[in-house]
């Protein structure tokens, strides 16, 4: 599944991001918040499938019953992008729960679009810094073994509490940096600038690690 995506990639628990940072919601979420049974929403999707597909592929995931449950068959959970979700909601009637959900859905998609735009901006800013870091490590006389991955993991763990491997597993991204939120990416870049400067000044890894952890502790205080 698309992570972020499993920790916080949700806004108000009704909109998520897939691995490509594209916001979506599900027909289960729509049913729950509009206070309509899931089967009815599924029938509406089937009925208006062509209309919904005019706004993109109608994707889905297969949800299997949890272990230890009474069983049941795997079921299809539809993912709907902003346009698809907005259109589907117009078919739900005009009850109070539906009206409230419409407002929350618009707000959630707006907030997540803003997060996506900010992430892409911060990611673009970080790429040249990454090249500078790679260059600095290549010229680092006191470099530790596996210096590139060691430094990257130090920075990621300082910002998120997880190393690259853990982030990839947790947030469903092949590239750990792509799993960061925009705010995390800002913090990462600030620490990255400091690390580049310290490498260029000839500090060894333990000194850099101490300083990164100290800086991170100050920011979290």
Tokens representing 218? Answer: 């100050």
Does any domain span residue 5? no
> In terms of domains, do 105 and 187 share one?
no
| Residue ranges in the chain modelled with pLDDT below 50 | 1-11
**Of 65, 94, 113, which marks where a domain is finished?**
113
**Whether 107 and 172 share a structural domain:** no
Classify residue 156 as exposed, middle or buried by CB count within 10 Å of its CB (0-12, 13-18, 19+).
Answer: buried
pTM of the model: 0.73
What are the φ/ψ torsions at residue 78 (nearest 5 degrees)? -75, 140
User: Is 188 inside a domain boundary?
Assistant: yes
> Are 102 and 159 in the same domain?
no
The per-residue pLDDT for 3 is 38
Residues 135 and 54 in one domain: no
Tell me whether residue 183 is in a domain.
yes
- Output the pLDDT for position 71: 60
The boundaries of the domain holding residue 45 are: 16-113
Phi, psi of 47 (to 5 degrees): -65, -40
User: Are 21 and 96 found together in one domain?
Assistant: yes
CA distance 33 to 89: 11
Domain contains 3: no
Domain finish residue from 113, 132, 148: 113
- Do both 179 and 97 map to the same domain? no
Q: Which of 85, 113, 141 is the last residue of a domain?
A: 113
Domain count, the chain: 2
Q: What is the pLDDT of residues 25-74, one digit of tens each?
A: 999 999 999 999 999 999 999 999 999 999 999 999 888 776 655 666 78
């Amino acid at each position: 599944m698309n992570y972020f995506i499993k920790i916080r990639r949700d806004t108000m628990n009704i909109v998520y991001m897939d691995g490509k940072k594209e916001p979506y919601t599900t027909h289960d979420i729509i049913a729950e918040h509009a206070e309509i049974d899931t089967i009815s929403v599924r029938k509406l999707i089937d009925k208006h499938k062509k209309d919904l597909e005019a706004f993109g592929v109608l994707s889905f995931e297969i949800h299997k019953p949890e272990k230890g449950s009474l069983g049941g068959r795997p079921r299809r959970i539809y993912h709907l992008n902003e346009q698809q979700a907005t259109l589907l909601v117009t078919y739900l009637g005009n009850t109070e729960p539906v009206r409230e959900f419409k407002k929350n859905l618009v707000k959630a998609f707006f907030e997540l679009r803003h997060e996506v735009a900010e992430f892409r901006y911060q990611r673009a800013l970080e790429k040249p810094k990454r090249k500078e870091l790679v260059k600095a490590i290549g010229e680092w006389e006191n470099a530790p073994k596996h210096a590139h991955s060691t430094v990257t993991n130090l920075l990621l763990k300082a910002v998120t509490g997880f190393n690259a491997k853990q982030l990839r597993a947790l947030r469903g991204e092949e590239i750990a940096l792509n799993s960061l939120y925009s705010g995390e990416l800002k913090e990462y870049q600030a620490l990255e600038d400091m690390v580049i400067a310290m490498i260029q000044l000839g500090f060894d890894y333990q000194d850099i690690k101490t300083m990164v952890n100290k800086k991170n502790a100050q920011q979290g205080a």
